[in-house]
Structure 1
Amino acid sequence: MTVGEVRAAPTRRRSRVRRFLSGRAALWIAFLLVHALLAGLNLWAQGGPLYDVTGVYHRWADLAADGIVRMGIDAPWVYPILAFAPMTLSLAFGSEWYGQTWLAMVVLLDAAAFSVLLGTRRLSRTRRIAAWWWTGFLLLLGPIAMGRIDAITVPLALTGLLWAAGRPRVAAALLTIGAWVKVWPAALLVALVVASRKRWDVGTVAVALSAGILGVSLLAGSGLNALGFVAEQAGRGLQVEAPLAVAWLWQIVAGSRNVEVVYDRDILTFQISGPGADAAAALTTPLMAAGVAVVLLLGIRAVRRGAAFGRVFPPLALSFVVVLLLANKVGSPQFIAWLAAPVVLGLVLRPRRFLVPAALAAGIALLTQVIYPYWYGWLLAAHPGFVLVLTVKVLLMAALLVWGIRALWQAGTTWDRREPAPAA
């Protein structure tokens, strides 16, 4: 081997590594490794991250299988009626395999969404970036990314957003189904109605499908229990992870004896008890409505001024989701998984513009895993370090909303509309 060949060998090796990392095989390997790790953490990690699945969902499914009570039909429930479908399906291989079956179902749904993200044609740079980001985001978020009902809705929402431009009716169907599992994809559906030129078709599909789901529920004997999740959510207090709870947690840190973290046995959550906490919980609903209204008006303004779909839809969807996160009395850690869908869409359509929200969302995911599940007890004890982590997480979410609102405002300006949109 000549001196030139020796010097060229490392360059060729680096080139081969780059080609491998830019291909589908590397992405699928990373996808499977991350999901295997998260599944293992759910099953064996400290803090019992899969408890809601194996302890709560499993019990509900068993009660229905034994003919005792069907949640959402025979009794009011905290979730929309379709949430019961994946919970029941997880009994497919027997009660003893409930948790493993749930995790396998989540992996399959994520794999389907990942396949749609990669596409069937030549893998574009933007889709490759988005795929690597989503894989990394799941790793940063940790086991909670798979261990709650939200894990069923995220791949549905992500696929719906990716198909929104070319297949708006299919996207509307997926987002509607997702909303009847967990309400949050309804915000993405509203964003699609605002941004799409086929908004009438989108709205028609959503209304017709919702009517069908409600009709089947009524035939099954649900009555008003089919909508019981609205009242169930309205009656909740200020949960310890909620953004507004930070103010009361700092009071505990400061030594206040009037504020404490208590466990609500009715809805199985840790909540804030103290002066003004109930008023703050009640304030979240009008605050959320006001935030949604502001974002909605900005989206309508951008569309009426001629902004392209690709410029309006990603920041509009992201802003809606962040409003739901910030003005939320619950604030559970799994809610952060919602960010994946609009950020992935943004990276596919406008990767350079979405570098900032992608970085912010990744930081939010990491801080979420720092708190839950491994050291959740420290937050419940209002340890200053973990209250600080939660505070920084809330500030990052606020920064994300500021970015989204700014992007929507710019989308409605003349100079921004004239910029060419990048190819997906």
Structure 2
Amino acid sequence: MTGGDERETSELAAGPRPRRAALRRWLGGRAALWTAFVVVHGLVVWLNLEAPGLPMGDVTGVYRIWAENAAHGWLRMGIDAPWVYPILAFAPMAAALVFGQAYVAQTWLAIVVLLDAIAFSILIGRATLSRPRRLAAWWWLAFIALLGPIALGRIDAITVPFAITGLLWAAGRPRVAATLLTIGAWVKVWPAALIAALVIAARRRLEVVTVAVVLSIGILGVSLLAGSGMNAIGFIAEQAGRGLQIEAPAAVFWLWQIVAGSRSVRIVYDRDILTFQIAGPGADAAAAVTTPLMIVGVLVVVVLGVRAARRGAPIGRLLAPLSLAFVVVLMLANKVGSPQFVTWLAAPVVLGLVLRPARFLVPAALAAAVALFTQIIYPYWYGWLLIANPAFVFLLTVKVALLVALLAWALRAVWQAGSRRNEAAPHGGDVGRRRTEG
């Protein structure tokens, strides 16, 4: 072999390695993450606008009507009448009308994508990109893709970036975190669970409580000045009066009865709150029991969290699993169980991957599986669940089982966070550090 042939063979052998290394470097950088952000959000936006099953039905058919009624001075939900949502939920609904009703869906999606982009930029920061934050960013994008249209097409999607950013800033900027989480809670109630977790886990808990209370009083005060009266907190009674929705974890028992051929159990449509619910022996009692059961579940999590905090568990070890436990309790002990509730899992899992990536791989995988099963059921083939098709009732059952496993993992992690041998662990982890937040 000549010298030229040897050089050519050497270049051919070595060529792919630098290219693979360059590809790995690119995939580990911000350019790849932002490219993936655009691709994933672009795909989910397209699915919301074009996929079967009317994914944007709530936005174009319900939120739009509420916003238009208010714009014309006919009826302001939460002010002139009780509403199922806290009062700040009206803000993004009204904003979606800014370019007219013909573009409500597109405007809504643009608002959600913009909020996600802000939270994403905070997650990956401007300084050196750490491996945990890179992993958390990739997981969040994968989670959105697996969850599909519902990840952007409901009011819950507005709260997720507030929740993620609030948890990321919890240790370093507790007052900012409390502000973001409180705003989120006045859009959709669930971020209040994250405030509870922060109050338990943080050392500067008085600041968190003060911000949350003062801001809530301010929001209620403005609502009262607008003439809301008791309608400002009407969402509490509205939720309590619901029946057992078919996606609720407790509904699985009755769905299997329909599969088995029961004539006494039916799926009915409630025209007052626009949901499909279970009608049958014991269903109303089960719906009534879910609220006390949720209170008991929340109290159990509080006790475990306080135990861990009193034993010196650092916020970097306690906050993520405690937040996850609160969120999953709200999902499991819920008479509604809407598919968009799965978006709630993103915030505690992202925080967990940032702080303790190896530890949080199991809940990250479980949450991703829950998202995938949710998209399979809704919106494309939701009709099969409405007729209690055995395959789709089985999918819903597996989804509930995954949530139970997720709760068991979170409770165990909270318990372990309070063990004496963990007291020497770092207090803040990566959360709240300006080095990676920008």
Fold match (TM-score > 0.5): yes
**Contact 1:350–1:422 (8 Å) recurs in 2:** no
* Equivalent residue runs for 1:111-150 within 5 Å: 111-150=117-156
TM-fit CA distance, 1:62:
0.5
The residue aligned with 1:366 is: 372
TM-fit CA distance, 1:423:
4.7
The residue aligned with 2:354 is: 348
Structure 2 residue runs of 5 or longer lacking an equivalent are 1-6, 431-438
The residue aligned with 1:49 is: 55
TM-fit CA distance, 1:5:
1.5
TM-fit CA distance, 1:416:
3.0
1:175 aligns with 2:181: yes
Runs of 4+ in 1 over 4 A off after TM superposition: 419-423
Match of 2:379, SS state, is: coil
The residue aligned with 1:261 is: 267
Match of 1:263, SS state, is: strand
Q: Which piece of structure 1 moves more, 8-17 or 389-398?
A: 8-17
Q: Please point out which of 1, 7, 15 is paired with 1:9.
A: 15
**Contact 1:350–1:421 (8 Å) recurs in 2:** no
Q: Which amino acid is 1:307 matched to?
A: A
Structure 1 residue runs of 5 or longer lacking an equivalent are none
Count residues with an aligned counterpart. Answer: 424
1:241 aligns with 2:267: no
**Contact 1:367–1:390 (8 Å) recurs in 2:** yes
- Percent identity over paired residues: 71
TM-fit CA distance, 1:415:
2.2
Match of 2:15, SS state, is: helix
**Contact 2:268–2:279 (8 Å) recurs in 1:** yes
1:399 aligns with 2:405: yes
Q: Please point out which of 61, 70, 77 is paired with 2:83.
A: 77
Question: 1: CA distance between counterparts of 2:103 and 2:95?
Answer: 11
* Equivalent residue runs for 1:25-424 within 5 Å: 25-419=31-425, 423-424=429-430
Question: 2: CA distance between counterparts of 1:332 and 1:95?
Answer: 26
* TM-score of the pair, normalised by structure 2: 0.96
TM-fit CA distance, 1:206:
0.2
Question: 2: CA distance between counterparts of 1:257 and 1:340?
Answer: 39
CA displacement 1:150-204 (0-9 Å, x = unmatched): 0000000110000001000000000000000000000000000001111000000
* TM-score of the pair, normalised by structure 1: 0.99
Question: 1: CA distance between counterparts of 2:271 and 2:101?
Answer: 25
Q: Which amino acid is 1:305 matched to?
A: R
Match of 1:372, SS state, is: helix
TM-fit CA distance, 1:422:
9.0
CA RMSD of aligned residues (A): 0.9
TM-fit CA distance, 1:2:
2.5
C-alpha distance 304-421 of structure 1, shift in aligned 2 (>3 A): closer
Q: Which amino acid is 1:414 matched to?
A: R
